[in-house]
Amino acid sequence: MEANDFLSEFGLSRTAIRTKLVQILMDANEALSSKEIEAFLDDNIDRVTLYRTIKLFEEKKLIHKIVVDEQITKYRLIKPNKNTEHPHFHCVRCDKVVCLPDTPLPCCDLPEGFSVSNQNTIIEGTCQKCNK
């Protein structure tokens, strides 16, 4: 799917920054931080516009936000028919974050009347590349 088609599917107008951001995230094999995204953009792109676009994409559920810790937040394009409620692997050496959509989350028995609205599981270790 093309970036412009993806934007149209979510009812968003096609601007240069939106198209570029979708393309960057489509091409990425892993979740990216805002700094990593900025590295793919031209110097003339306004940071405020980038952050507003990321926020809009979150609100429209085009991307999901992965909070690794207080200092590391990454973003990943939501793939059709994939649940965003899944664990993520964070490499402690290279900071790579990978979605694990086919890995079931641990479940727990909640007290009566309680319900889960969100579950965030980060598995930390070293990735295959860093283990070589």
State yes or no: pLDDT of 53 exceeds 90.
yes
Answer yes or no: are the C-beta atoms of 40 and 50 closer than 8 Å: no
User: What domains can be seen in the chain, in order of their start residue?
Assistant: 3-125 (1.10.10.10)
30-52 pLDDT, tens digit each:
899 999 999 998 877 888 999 99
Overall average pLDDT of the 12-27 stretch? 93
Asked which of 3-17, 86-100, 107-121 is least confident by mean pLDDT, the reply is: 107-121
Please list, in sequence order, all residues whose beta carbon lies within 8 angstroms of the beta carbon of residue 31, skipping any fewer than 6 positions away: 66, 74, 75, 76, 88, 97, 98, 99
Kindly report, residue by residue over 60-70, the tens digit of the pLDDT: 989 988 888 88
